[in-house]
Copies of this chain bind each other. A is one copy, B any other.
Amino acid sequence: MPVIKSLLFLLLVCVVVLVSTAGAQSEAEVPLRDQARFYFDAIPHEVPGKELVDHFDEKVALGQRLFFDPRLSMSQTVSCHSCHNLSMGGDDGRPVSVGHGWQTGPRNAPTVFNAGLQIAQFWDGRARDLVEQAGAPMTSPVEMASTDPLICDVLSSMPDYVAWFTRAFPERENPICFATTRHALAAFVSSLLTPDAPFDRYLAGQEEALDDLQKQGLREFIALGCTQCHMSTNLGGNGYYRFGVKHAPEQRYRPQEDLGRRLVMDTISEDYVFKVPTLRNVALTAPYFHAGSAWTLEESVEVMAWVQLDKKLTEQQVDALVAFFSSLTGSLPTIALPALPVSTRETPRPAY
């Protein structure tokens, strides 16, 4: 896919050069917006493919309740929202998250916003999609520490949940189970799109949606080659690359105990390979990198330029890139806190 895109881009450059040579344009340069449109797409307003999912809206409504329900954790203390805080950019603002028993996980919590537009989930892409992803934190001993049967027992004990599951999964004989819980959560998370960022409006033709510094940053972003990895709708989330292509990052950025995708693929060539993180809403999601060790965008940009591209940036370049990143903050969805059903006599009790 990147190869085809590169060829297409070359073709685009040739056409523009020919046109400009013919006197129609004074500079042999592809207009910035056309370059941008080549690499990037706008965040959609609607969930792609939602028409293929039966009872999608009912699944989203149910998933929203599940997302906020701490009873999906063994202690009934930790909910999805605990680490993917929808008030705070869809993550938790910490290097690594705090889970069951105050344990910390090994990697920085990624944002849930626009997560459904990625090729796979988790830093190492070990979950194929949001449905697979949703199961892992609930049953991870360091996160929510629950189990498949416990979650079913908890949810089945409350008549409101039974009704909501039945509405969202009417074709199932037993609508409440771990699989449907994951499906409903995935539907809700897929609905967490943040369209209409200034950058999206610029892509759509609003010239003034980006200021001059942001345009300069976009130009740098393309010229430096950041688009080799951060492309497509999410400016990331679309492929896997080694963190440290040109230089090994300092150990605080790339702890040696986390080999990334190597743990999934088990080939040495995957050492320190991670899914390219999205840059959408990146201004809201510090700290950065899989270890959550860079606290500012300026620091992150300098590190990435050096270790991935063998480039030392000027202060002006850094400022322009960070300004461009600020144009990637979209409209966050308005979320009403759900009223959750009351535990019943049959609801398993919180365990510590």
Contact = CB atoms under 8 A, between A and B. Distances in A.
Nearest to A295: B349
A337 B335 contact: yes
| Copies of this chain per assembly | 2
Contacts of A42: none
B98 A75 contact: yes
A76 interface: yes
Interface stretch (A86-94, A116-124, A253-261): A86-94
Interface stretch (A13-21, A28-36, A207-215, A338-346): A338-346
Contacts of A340: 87-88
Question: Which of the four size classes fits the interface of chain A?
Answer: 35 or more
B101 A87 contact: no
Q: Which residue, of A69, A104, A296, A349, has the highest number of chain B Cβ atoms within 10 A?
A: A349
Contact of A339 (B87, B295, B339): B87
Contacts of A88: 70, 340, 342
A284 interface: yes
Interface in A9-56: none
A49 to B, nearest CB: 26
8 contacts: A68-B87, A70-B93, A76-B92, A86-B337, A87-B337, A283-B342, A284-B342, A335-B337
Interface of A: 68-71, 75-77, 82, 85-89, 92-94, 98, 101-102, 104, 283-284, 286, 295-296, 332, 334-340, 342-343, 345, 349-350, 352
